[in-house]
Structure 1
Amino acid sequence: MSSQVRLRLLPGARCLFDEPIQMKVSGLRSRQVVALRARSTDERGVVFTSLATYRADGSGEIDLNRDPSLRGNYVGVEPMGLLWSMRPVTLHKRFQKTNSLNPHVVKFSVHEQEGEGRMLAEAINERFLIGDGVIWCPVKEGNIRGVLFTPPGAGPFPAVLDLYTFGGGLSEKRASLLASRGFVVLTVALYGHDDMPRNIGEIHLDYFEEAIEFLKKQDKVGSKGVGVLSLSKSGDVALSIASYLPDVEATVWINGCCANTALPLYYRKKQILPALMFDVNKIIPTESGASMVKYGVNNPLAEENKATLVPIEQAKGHFLFAAAEDDLNWDSKAYMDEMVERLKHHGKENFESVCYPGAGHYLEPPYGPYCPSSFHGLAGKPVLWGGEPRSHAAAEVHLWKKIQEFFRAHLSCDATQSKAKL
Structure 2
Amino acid sequence: MVKREMSAQVRVRLLPSARCLFDEPVQVKVAGLKSRQVVTLRARSTDDKGVVFSSSATYRADGSGEVNLDRDPSLSGSYVGVEPMGLLWSMRADIMHKRFQKTSPLNAHVVNFSVHEEEGGKLAEATNERRLIRDGVTRVPVKDGNIRGVLFTPPGGGPFPAVLDLYTFGGGLSEKRASLLASRGFLVLTVALYGHGDLPKNITEIHLDYFEEAIEFLKKQDKIGSKGVGVISLSKSGDLALSIASFLPNIEAVVWINGCSANTALPLYYKQRLILPALMFDFKKAIPTESGAIISKYSMHDPLEEENKATLVPIERATGRFLFVASEDDLNWDSKAYMDEMVERLKRHGRENFESVSYPGAGHYLEPPYGPYCPSSFHGVAGKPVLWGGEPRSHAAAEVHLWKKIQEFFRTHLSCDFSPTKAKL
Shorter-chain TM range is over 0.9
Aligned to 2:358: 355
Describe the superposition over 1:351-385 as per-residue Cα deviations: whole angstroms up to 9, x where unpaired. 00000000000000000000000000000000000
Q: Does 1:396 align with 2:396?
A: no
Counting only pairs closer than 5 Å after superposition, residues 211-230 of structure 1 correspond to structure 2 as 211-230=214-233
* Separation of aligned partners in 2, 1:156 and 1:287: 52
Contact 2:227 2:419 in 1 (8 A): no
Paired position in structure 2 for 1:342: 345
User: d(CA) in 2 for partners of 1:354 and 1:98?
Assistant: 28
Aligned counterpart, 1:378: 381
TM score, norm. by length of structure 2:
0.97
Aligned to 1:18: 23
404, 408, 411: which one pairs with 1:405? 408
Task: Name 2:335's counterpart in structure 1.
Answer: 332
- Would the alpha carbon gap of residues 179 and 415 (structure 1) be closer, same or farther in structure 2, given more than 3 Å must change? farther
> Displacement of 1:280 after TM fit?
1.4
Q: Distance in 1 between matches of 2:70 and 2:372?
A: 19
Aligned to 1:180: 183
CA contact (8 A) 1:156 1:415 kept: no
Question: 1:416, CA displacement in angstroms?
Answer: 12
Which secondary structure state, in structure 1, belongs to the residue aligned with residue 53 of structure 2? Answer: strand
User: Does the CA-based 8 Å contact 2:23-2:370 persist in structure 1?
Assistant: yes
Contact preservation (8 Å) 1:239, 1:312: yes
Which residue of structure 2 lines up, in the alignment, with residue 126 of structure 1? 129
Q: Of the candidates 5, 8, 19, which is equivalent to residue 3 of structure 1?
A: 8
CA distance in 2 between counterparts of 1:348 and 1:98 reads 39
**SS of residue in 1 equivalent to 2:95:** coil
CA separation of 1:308/1:27 partners in 2, compared to 1, >3 Å: closer, same or farther? Answer: same
Kept in 2, the 8 Å contact 1:209–1:245? The answer is: yes
What's 2:46 paired with? 41
- Counterpart of 2:205 (choices 198, 202, 210) is 202
Query: Residues 170-319 of structure 1: matches in 2 within 5 Å?
Result: 170-319=173-322
Give aligned-pair identity as a percent: 81
Query: Aligned pair count?
Result: 415
Confirm or deny: 8 A CA contact 2:262 2:312 kept in the other structure: yes
Kept in 1, the 8 Å contact 2:59–2:75? The answer is yes
Checking the alignment, whether the CA contact within 8 Å between 2:227 and 2:418 is kept in structure 1 is no
CA deviation after TM superposition for structure 1 residue 281, in Å:
1.1
Q: Tell me what 1:112 maps to.
A: 117
TM-score under structure 1 length normalisation:
0.98
Q: Is the 8 A contact 1:168 1:193 kept in 2?
A: yes
Distance 2:317 2:104 in 1: 36
CA deviation map 1:109-144 (0-9, x unaligned): 000012xx0000000000000001000000000000
Q: Give the distance between the partners of 1:61 and 1:98, measured in 2 at CA.
A: 37
Hey, what's the Cα distance between the residues in 1 that align with 2:406 and 2:214?
21
Amino acid in structure 2 at the alignment position of 1:387: G
Counting only pairs closer than 5 Å after superposition, residues 81-120 of structure 1 correspond to structure 2 as: 81-114=86-119, 117-120=120-123
Partner secondary structure for residue 239 of structure 1? helix
Q: Using a 3 Å threshold, how does the CA distance of structure 1 residues 415 and 12 change in structure 2: closer, same or farther? A: farther
Q: In structure 1, what residue type is equivalent to 2:408?
A: E
Superposition RMSD in Å: 1.0
Rounded to whole Å, the distance in 2 between the matches of 1:13 and 1:254 is 31
| Kept in 1: contact 2:28–2:68 (CA 8 A) | yes
Maintained 8 Å contact 1:156/1:414: no
Distance 1:34 1:412 in 2: 52
Counterpart selection for 2:81 from 72, 76, 79? 76
Distance 1:273 1:415 in 2: 31
In the alignment, does 2:142 pair up with 1:142? no
Q: Distance in 2 between matches of 1:301 and 1:246?
A: 27
Residue in 1 that maps onto 2:423: none
User: Contact 1:317 / 1:350 at 8 angstroms: preserved in 2?
Assistant: yes
Q: Which residue identity lines up with residue 106 of structure 2 in the other structure?
A: L
State the alpha-carbon separation in 2 of the partners of residues 64 and 80 from structure 1: 8
Give, in angstroms, the shift of residue 413 of structure 1: 2.0
| Structure 2 residue ranges without an equivalent (≥5) | 1-5, 421-425
What's the offset of the Cα at 1:172?
0.3
Separation (CA, whole Å) in 2 of partners of 1:208 and 1:230: 13
Gaps of 5+ in 1: 418-422
